[in-house]
Chains A and B, each alone.
Chain A
Amino acid sequence: MISYELIGISVLWLFLYGYLIVASIDFGAGFFAFYAKFTKKDHLINRLISRYLSPVWEITNVFFVFFFVGIIGFFPDTAYYYGSSLLVPASIGIVLIAIRGSFYAFENYGSKENIVFLFLYGATGLFIPASLSVALTLSEGGFIMEENGTVYLEYMNLLTSPLSWSIVGLAIVSVLFISGAFLTFYAARADDQPAVQLLRTYALFWSTPTIIAAFTAFIYLSQHNERHFNNMMDMWWLLALSVGFFMIALWLLYKGRRYGLAFISIMLQFACAFFAYGIGQYPYILDPYITIQDGATHESMGIALVAAFIGGLLLLIPSLILVFRLFLFDADYVRGKR
């Protein structure tokens, strides 16, 4: 029988992956909306973007809340270590998320025309993934320290670490790549050829930096945390699969057909890499302070959480399917006819 803490971390990792995809679409869309306005091409895509994002942005945010509440629930030590050390960066992150959230609140009522607000919206779309990705860097160890019962963050180590910057770079370019590919698919559903062509160039443009950044981050990981790197190398086939899916996606985008399949390939590309990364980190959540076994909550709570999770999923999956059918796969809605 598989242990509850392993179920817990797998589920949370799966949700973090879900957040990575839906949030990338959202964050990237913010940047593209600003960039299109800046280059006077906004008439082509902005209505399309807001048609998709308006009904789903709150769901995106819940993925994030779900992940951090879940990890604190299953592994209360994470609240202690990450909470103690991340007060300042996480607070700045909250402010960025707040600016973004309020954009959705106010967008229907005039703020969309305001270039300053649109700039903030686009900028947060890049800053938020950059700042969230720092949490992954921290889990590698060497940045969060504990001495005499006080936990603190080594800012200088973090800011001068090539690993942290390469992960930030990877986060930003992959957000733009994922988002560009998804919006291309969405525009194709809407049969909006000018938008398809514009978004397709965005997606193609960001594909190269994505794969370069991924390799760079991988190399710096080998210097920073050899254990993690070797574990990942043991799963070389998963990484190879990831590259394979990337090639398929690139081919389809380049040929300009089957955008749905292209986006699914990109999802699989990131899934393979993300799970190889996550499994390679086992058994640590925060190297060396929190491991999955020692950091887990009591068994009774762990089992209750898993039970709650199964119950919640039974509610969640049909609801999400409903949303997708109404707003993603309903061609009339996508075209703006309803």
Chain B
Amino acid sequence: MSSLDPVLMSRILTAVTLFVHIVLATIGVGIPVMLALAEWRGIRTGDMHYTLLARRWARGYVITVAVGVVTGTAIGLQLSLLWPTFMRVAGKAIALPLFMETFAFFVEAIFLGIYLYTWDRFKSKYTHLLLLIPVAIGSSASAFFITSMNAFMNQPQGFEWVNGVFTNVNPFIAMMNPATPSKVAHVLASAYTTSAAALASIAAYSLLRGSKHVYFKKALKLTVISTFVFAIATITIGDFSGKFLAKFQPEKLAAMEWHFDTMTEAPLIYGGVLDENNDIKYALKIPYALSILAGNRPNTEVIGLNEFPEDERPPLMIHYFFDLKVTNGVLLVLIPLLYMFRRKLPGKKPYPKWLLIAILALGPSAMVAIWLGWFLAEIGRQPWIVRGYMKVAEAATTSPSVGWMLVLFILLYLVLTVSAVKVLSRLFRNKNAEEELKQLGWDEQGGRES
């Protein structure tokens, strides 16, 4: 009991920390790209509305970054506090990406500090914009390194396994394992999508509240179209991930799809429930789709769950995570499409209320998709912590105090989240964009600089 409990508690605490951190990390990776887009457009066209957009986003971004640094430090330390045996063993294989991540973080921290406090300090406007390049590279590189470490846990390689120890490690091969490319690409693309979608939600919210200024319409256009482009990229890369799973981690794909018997021409299952005999009921079956997902051809053979021993199968509930995630992904393409064809839709208003409400939903649905995607990836690896080598139960701490720490951290995250939301909303309400435009004298037709 005393050695089992900490395992479960450690899992929950890690999950809770990541649940909070991933929101901030995703925004941290994606927003610099959106900032660069807006500021660049502002400089190139001389339209100061875009410059103000970048400024206002940056102001809110500081808050999310600061809280993100806090939760990131927490998970960094918790890796060793909650999973000491894992870090001792796996650290010999994956220390390199973890170490390089801190450098990427360093670069991001340095240039973000400079970017935020030098809006009016350089003669050329491009100098300030160029500061965003190291910020974006730093945040994306840190996503790359951390994700490659996670990819190693899914697809370990580059070592010899002798008596429970990784020896003869090739750090570079371990880092560049087969799971790395598709995982990193998917993480980056989905982070860009989610950030664009969250900003689109904000613009839609302002318009819904009755703001008529052209500033908000420009914001809406920039963010919704970015969401569309990034979402298409995310879905395309997601398709590669499916093919990757079919080849390298078939038990995860099989559990995702409730695919029990190995077969060709495998159907894709959407929704449904399982009865006690593992028979699928009330599901939507799309013929051949799983085979096509796995190998682009209807006669691709897809390995079924029955090929794996029962104690090495992932939990079957990940099926729902996958279905919901894909649904959200599709919405992230469809809603922007509706926006782009809004003038061809019935009705005379260019910004009908229902469309704005749909756009408002983009941010939350993208965020939910991120959560679901991580639940899917992490729970789908169960019971392994390093797939094929180390099980979760062998890796956790034996400390009996994990339960109390769980309570402590839940309280901390509640306080952090509530204060961050409060401060963010106060920030935008206290100084609304229309007043700020007037103050800066950027309010002329077309937003030209005065």
Q: A87-B397, A308-B103 are in contact. Are A64 and B420 (CB under 8 A)?
A: no
Question: Is the C-beta of A113 less than 8 angstroms from some C-beta in chain B?
Answer: no
**Which of these binds chain A: B167-175, B231-239, B346-354?**
B167-175
Q: Would you call B99 and A73 a contact (CB within 8 A)? A: yes
Interface set, chain A 71-86, CB cutoff 8 A to B: 72-74, 76-84, 86
Q: Kindly state the separation between the CA atoms of A322 and B111 in the bound complex, as whole angstroms.
A: 9
Q: Would you call B420 and A105 a contact (CB within 8 A)? A: yes
Question: Is the C-beta of A2 less than 8 angstroms from some C-beta in chain B?
Answer: no
Q: Would you call B67 and A76 a contact (CB within 8 A)? A: no
Q: List 25 A-B contacts (CB under 8 A).
A: A54-B117, A58-B69, A61-B109, A65-B73, A72-B98, A76-B88, A76-B89, A81-B84, A83-B83, A84-B397, A88-B405, A91-B409, A95-B408, A98-B412, A98-B416, A101-B73, A102-B419, A108-B62, A297-B95, A308-B96, A315-B106, A316-B106, A319-B107, A322-B110, A326-B121
Task: Output the least CB separation between A69 and chain B (Å).
Answer: 5
Q: Would you call B95 and A316 a contact (CB within 8 A)? A: no
Contact among B99, B405, B412, B420 for A69, CB-based, below 8 A: B99
Contact with A along B106-142 (1 / 0, CB 8 A): 1101111110111011000000000000100000000
**Which of these binds chain B: A248-256, A267-275, A299-307?**
A299-307
Q: Collect the chain B residues with CB atoms within 8 Å of residue A301's CB.
A: 92-93, 95-96, 169, 171
Q: Collect the chain A residues with CB atoms within 8 Å of residue B404's CB.
A: 88
Q: A62-B105, A316-B103 are in contact. Are A110 and B87 (CB under 8 A)?
A: no
Q: Collect the chain A residues with CB atoms within 8 Å of residue B170's CB.
A: 300
Contact with A along B304-324 (1 / 0, CB 8 A): 000000000000000000000
Question: Is the C-beta of B65 less than 8 angstroms from some C-beta in chain A?
Answer: yes
Which B residues fall within an 8 A CB radius of A? Answer: 62-63, 65-67, 69-74, 76-85, 87-89, 91-93, 95-96, 98-103, 105-107, 109-114, 116-118, 120-121, 134, 166-172, 397-399, 401-402, 404-405, 408-409, 412, 416, 419-420, 423, 426-427
Question: Is the C-beta of A194 less than 8 angstroms from some C-beta in chain B?
Answer: no
Q: Collect the chain B residues with CB atoms within 8 Å of residue A54's CB.
A: 113, 117
Q: Would you call B73 and A102 a contact (CB within 8 A)? A: no
Contact among A90, A108, A300, A316 for B81, CB-based, below 8 A: A90
Q: Kindly state the separation between the CA atoms of A22 and B223 in the bound complex, as whole angstroms.
A: 39
Q: Kindly state the separation between the CA atoms of A312 and B106 in the bound complex, as whole angstroms.
A: 9
Q: Collect the chain A residues with CB atoms within 8 Å of residue B92's CB.
A: 76, 297-298, 301
Residue ID in chain B nearest A108 by CB atoms: B62
Q: Would you call A62 and B88 a contact (CB within 8 A)? A: no
Q: Kindly state the separation between the CA atoms of A86 and B166 in the bound complex, as whole angstroms.
A: 25
Contact among B112, B397, B399, B408 for A58, CB-based, below 8 A: B112
Q: Collect the chain B residues with CB atoms within 8 Å of residue A333's CB.
A: 121
Q: Would you call B66 and A77 a contact (CB within 8 A)? A: no
Q: Collect the chain B residues with CB atoms within 8 Å of residue A87's CB.
A: 81-82, 397, 399, 401-402, 405
10 smallest CB-CB distances across A and B, nearest first, come from: A105-B66, A73-B95, A83-B84, A76-B91, A79-B87, A83-B80, A312-B103, A101-B70, A80-B88, A55-B113
